[in-house]
């Protein structure tokens, strides 16, 4: 299996000019926002941003990045993601549930995104509503474009009962500490929405898209009175349980809407995820509004925060 890695380095204006000339014949027609160019070497995609960040993605990213670190003062290269070897996973017995059932399922969005809220949704799918959802093409929100989500979710929420809890980044930053990590926050929110949906609906299964072991999940709920029991924990449950897929779509729909609101409020496009691009946007925001802006729109415990603060002009 080929190694696929992402390296990011900071280059000065002189090196930006050198790179611009060097990759002239390899440039793509379209470039990402705030990018000077994007080039394809065959093994690696090179993107140079106006901020001076150069991003190398591909099997030869380390070699390509190394060529340019040798000509700039900053010799460091940030390794954002590395898939360096074929993973050997131990096969676990796969949990399956029947398809033609009534179920309550939950899923969340935003926990891996530097900007934007955390959104957790539980929904109830009665078996008589399965044809309706199948006809809409309901599946995991990660496999459907944002445009499609914006079209189909309004139809879903008119017919399918659901409960959503959203916490803003300001709330998240106030809650997050050594005794309240991301998984504990998620467990508490999942328990709340699932408990609410289980009150008034006749279901065959309650399913969570598993983000940690059942033991750890309930350990996070030790201080919660009467946490909901009888849950089936399934990895990649959005592909195996329709109510989880519906919850995934609704959470994503709300997340997209909230990201648009935040972007409009601060006059800038806020990217999803937690990669190098969010840092370029973060620098612009801090330079315009001051460092406290990150408390309201970003998850401060992400390592992106330290890198943004270091690069403030």
Q: Per-residue pLDDT tens for 1-25?
A: 556 788 888 888 888 888 888 888 8
First to last CA, the chain: 42
Looking at residue 83, what is its pLDDT? Answer: 43
**Greater model confidence, 118 or 66:** 118
Predicted confidence band of residue 91 (pLDDT cuts 50, 70, 90):
very low
252 phi and psi, to 5 degrees?
-65, -40
How many Å apart are CA 245 and CA 21, to the nearest integer? Answer: 47
How many Å apart are CA 303 and CA 44, to the nearest integer? Answer: 25
Give strand pairing partners of 205.
Answer: 103
Looking at residue 66, what is its pLDDT? Answer: 81
Bridging pattern class, strands 53-58 and 118-125? unpaired
What percentage of the chain carries pLDDT values higher than 90? Answer: 54
pLDDT, one tens digit per residue, over 252-302 is 999 999 999 999 999 999 999 888 889 999 999 999 999 999 999 999 999
**Six-digit token pair at 177?**
């500490």
Query: Domain 103-260: what homologous superfamily?
Result: Ribonuclease H-like superfamily/Ribonuclease H (3.30.420.10)
Predicted confidence band of residue 86 (pLDDT cuts 50, 70, 90):
very low
**Six-digit token pair at 102?**
């009534």
Closest CA to 115 of 267, 290, 4, 255: 255
What is the fold, at CATH topology level, of the domain defined by 4-83? TATA-Binding Protein (3.30.310)
How many Å apart are CA 26 and CA 3, to the nearest integer? Answer: 22
Residue with token string 């470039």:
31
pTM: 0.76
21 half-sphere exposure, CB direction, 13 A CA radius: 5
Domain boundaries, the chain: 4-83, 103-260
pLDDT, one tens digit per residue, over 35-51 is 899 988 877 889 998 88
């Amino acid at each position: 299996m080929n190694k696929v890695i992402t390296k990011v380095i900071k280059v000065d204006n002189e090196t930006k000019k050198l790179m611009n000339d060097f990759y002239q014949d390899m440039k793509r027609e379209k470039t990402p926002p705030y990018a000077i160019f994007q080039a394809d070497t065959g093994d690696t995609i090179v993107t140079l941003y106006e901020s001076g960040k150069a991003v190398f993605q591909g099997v030869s990213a380390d070699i390509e990045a190394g060529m340019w670190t040798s000509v700039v003062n900053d010799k460091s290269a940030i390794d954002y993601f590395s898939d360096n070897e074929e993973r050997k996973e131990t096969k676990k017995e796969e949990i399956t549930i029947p398809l033609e059932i009534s179920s309550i399922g939950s899923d969340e969005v935003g926990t891996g995104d530097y900007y934007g809220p955390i959104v957790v949704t539980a929904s109830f799918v009665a078996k008589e509503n399965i044809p309706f959802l199948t006809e809409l093409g309901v599946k995991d929100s990660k496999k459907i474009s944002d445009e499609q989500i914006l079209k189909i979710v309004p139809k879903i929420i008119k017919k399918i009962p659901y409960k959503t809890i959203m916490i803003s980044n300001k709330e998240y930053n106030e809650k997050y500490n050594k005794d309240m990590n991301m998984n504990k926050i998620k467990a508490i929110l999942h328990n709340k929405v699932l408990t609410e949906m289980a009150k008034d609906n006749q279901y065959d299964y309650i399913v969570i898209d598993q983000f940690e072991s059942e033991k750890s999940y309930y350990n996070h709920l030790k201080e919660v009175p009467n946490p909901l029991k009888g849950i089936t924990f399934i990895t990649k449950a959005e592909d195996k349980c329709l109510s989880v897929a519906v919850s995934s779509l609704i959470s994503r729909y709300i997340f997209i809407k909230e990201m648009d609101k935040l972007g409009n409020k601060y006059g800038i496009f806020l990217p999803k995820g937690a990669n190098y691009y969010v840092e370029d946007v973060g620098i612009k925001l801090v330079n315009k509004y001051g460092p406290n802006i990150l408390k309201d729109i970003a998850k401060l415990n992400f390592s992106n925060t330290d890198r943004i603060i270091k690069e403030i002009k």
